[in-house]
């Protein structure tokens, strides 16, 4: 069984100066590994951002309590078996609020929210059952994602969508290629519940068998609801909202680290600060959508300092000019499709490319140089994606 310390111990993923609070940024700078510093300017940026890594407890509770009240009200409304047309609207709304609650749980694990409130942490703990992720299992995977954000050719990084360079793609067999393309497609987004939620927990159960309590609790809730209130109610009240929430969460995570304009590095050239600013996006959304999604769209700032509470991220961006020109992506179907088409990193071109473009480039390279009227392809131009 998990201990209290396992449930409450926070993520400690970023280099010290990057995840520091105002109180410890001075001492943390001295401990900063040189390989993690892009430049003196970035250390200055990290220090400037660190002043926002302090909680304002009143704002935290004001955000959490109404959200939890609405989430519980939506859940109860669905359990009362409303008409199907109303159930669809309620289920979709509940799924968005489940994503917002997930951001709260996420911030707790980063010690950005309820850092000094055990009541707040335990109040949100039951909601982790919706995501079938025991906090310590999710924490370990997410910690690895922050520590090695978007490193190339690193299959052992947990907690992120795999990305192959063209060299690594050439070394992979047919089955691995098929699985890779499936995960990085609409199929992977729609069925993201399996590879990004169920499988990690199942794999963790080898060392921590108690981790299975979370999926067992979720399945048990669905079965109990089906037997007591009917299987239609179980579908509308539990299965559909959770499924939509995982789809939305998977899409969000994908576009945050896989979009035109991002830059990726091999482990030897990788730097924490560069990955935060150039391998993470900012979601260009209306203010109300940022609110619904717990400001997770300010993702480049979150990767600079993961101790900044979600409700202060817009404040940081407004106050720090160096953060106001990130790689941006919209959350429209066309923008998501464009991100999904970019499946490989081409180190020669220094950008993400589609597999179709990769195949075309390989065919052009393999074509006989003596072919009449042939000329070398211009690989510097991006493939039209529309």
Q: Tell me: the pLDDT tens digits for 235-294?
A: 999 999 999 999 999 999 999 999 999 999 888 888 888 888 899 999 999 999 999 999
- Residue 43 lies inside a defined structural domain of this protein: yes
Mean pLDDT of 341-370: 88
Cα separation of 231 and 225, whole Å? Answer: 7
DSSP annotation of 349 reads T
Structural domain including 162 reads 4-334
Give domain status of residue 358, yes or no. Answer: no
**Is residue 276 within 8 Å of 327, Cβ to Cβ?**
no
Burial label for 255, CB within 10 Å (0-12, 13-18, 19+), is buried
Distance between CA atoms of residues 247 and 91, nearest Å: 13
Q: How many CB atoms lie within 10 A of CB 141?
A: 18
Q: Answer yes or no: are the C-beta atoms of 52 and 308 closer than 8 Å.
A: yes
Q: Is the model's pLDDT at 355 over the cut of 70?
A: yes
The predicted structure's pLDDT at residue 178: 95
What is each CA distance from 381 to 113, 166, 242, 358, in whole angstroms?
Answer: 44, 17, 41, 13
Sequence-separated (6 or more) residues with CB below 8 Å from residue 378: none
- The whole-number pLDDT of residue 3 equals 43
Number of domains the chain contains: 1
Q: Does 354 reside within a domain?
A: no
State the pLDDT confidence band at 73, using cuts at 50, 70 and 90. Answer: very high
Burial class (CB in 10 A: 0-12, 13-18, 19+), 372: exposed
Q: For residue 363, is it within any domain?
A: no
Average pLDDT over residues 11-31: 44
The pLDDT of residue 92 is above 60: yes
Reply yes or no on whether the pLDDT at 31 is more than 50: no
- Which stretches of the chain are assigned E, i.e. beta strand? 164-165, 281-283, 327-329, 344-346, 351-353
Query: For position 205, what pLDDT does the model report?
Result: 84
* pTM (predicted TM-score): 0.85
Q: For position 60, what pLDDT does the model report? A: 96
Per-residue pLDDT for 29 more than 60?
Answer: no
Handedness of CA 283, 287, 288, 294 (dihedral sign): positive
**Domain for residue 379, yes or no?**
no
Classify residue 382: in a domain, yes or no.
no
Question: Residue 67 domain-assigned?
Answer: yes
Q: Kindly tell me if the per-residue pLDDT of 22 is higher than 60.
A: no
| Tens-place pLDDT, residues 298-339 | 999 999 999 999 999 999 999 999 999 999 999 999 999 999
Is 359 a domain residue?
A: no
Q: Is the pLDDT of residue 165 over 80?
A: yes
Residue % of the chain over a pLDDT of 70: 83
pLDDT, position 369:
54
- Range 44-63 average pLDDT: 93
192-219 average pLDDT score: 87
Looking from the CA of 347 toward its CB, the CA atoms found within 13 Å total: 13
* Centroid of chain to Cα 204: 19
Please compute the mean of the pLDDT values over residues 27-39 and round it to a whole number: 38
């Amino acid at each position: 069984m998990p201990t209290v310390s396992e449930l409450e111990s926070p993520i400690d993923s970023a280099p010290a100066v990057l995840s520091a609070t105002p109180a410890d940024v001075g001492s943390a700078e001295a401990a900063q590994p040189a390989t993690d510093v892009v430049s003196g300017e970035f250390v200055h940026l990290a220090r400037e951002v660190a002043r926002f890594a302090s909680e304002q407890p009143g704002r935290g509770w004001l955000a959490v309590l109404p959200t939890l009240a609405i989430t519980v009200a939506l859940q109860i409304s669905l359990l009362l078996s409303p008409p199907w047309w109303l159930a669809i609207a309620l289920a979709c709304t509940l799924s968005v609020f489940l994503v917002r609650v997930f951001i709260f749980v996420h911030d707790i694990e980063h010690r950005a929210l309820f850092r000094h409130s055990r009541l707040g942490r335990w109040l949100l703990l039951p909601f982790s059952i919706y995501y079938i992720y025991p906090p310590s299992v999710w924490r370990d995977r997410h910690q690895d994602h922050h520590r090695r954000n978007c490193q190339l050719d690193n299959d052992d990084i947990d907690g992120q969508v795999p990305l192959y360079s063209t060299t690594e793609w050439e070394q992979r067999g047919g089955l691995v290629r098929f699985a890779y393309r499936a995960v990085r497609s609409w199929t992977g987004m729609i069925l993201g519940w399996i590879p990004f939620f169920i499988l990690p927990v199942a794999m963790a159960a080898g060392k921590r068998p108690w981790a299975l309590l979370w999926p067992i609790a979720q399945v048990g809730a669905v079965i109990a609801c089906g037997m007591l209130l009917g299987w239609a109610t179980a579908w509308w009240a539990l299965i559909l909202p959770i499924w939509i929430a995982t789809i939305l969460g998977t899409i969000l995570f994908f576009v945050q680290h896989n979009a035109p304009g991002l830059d990726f590095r091999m482990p030897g050239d990788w730097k924490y600060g560069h990955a935060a600013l150039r391998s993470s996006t900012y979601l260009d959304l209306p203010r109300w959508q940022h609110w619904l999604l717990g400001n997770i769209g300010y993702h480049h700032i979150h990767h600079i300092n993961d101790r900044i509470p979600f409700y202060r991220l817009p404040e940081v961006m407004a106050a720090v000019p160096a953060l106001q020109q990130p790689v941006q992506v919209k959350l429209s179907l066309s923008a998501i499709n464009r991100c999904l088409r970019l499946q490989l990193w081409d180190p020669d071109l220094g950008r993400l490319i589609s597999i179709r473009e990769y195949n075309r480039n390989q065919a052009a390279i393999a074509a006989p140089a003596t072919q009449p009227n042939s000329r070398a392809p211009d690989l510097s131009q991006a493939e039209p994606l529309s």
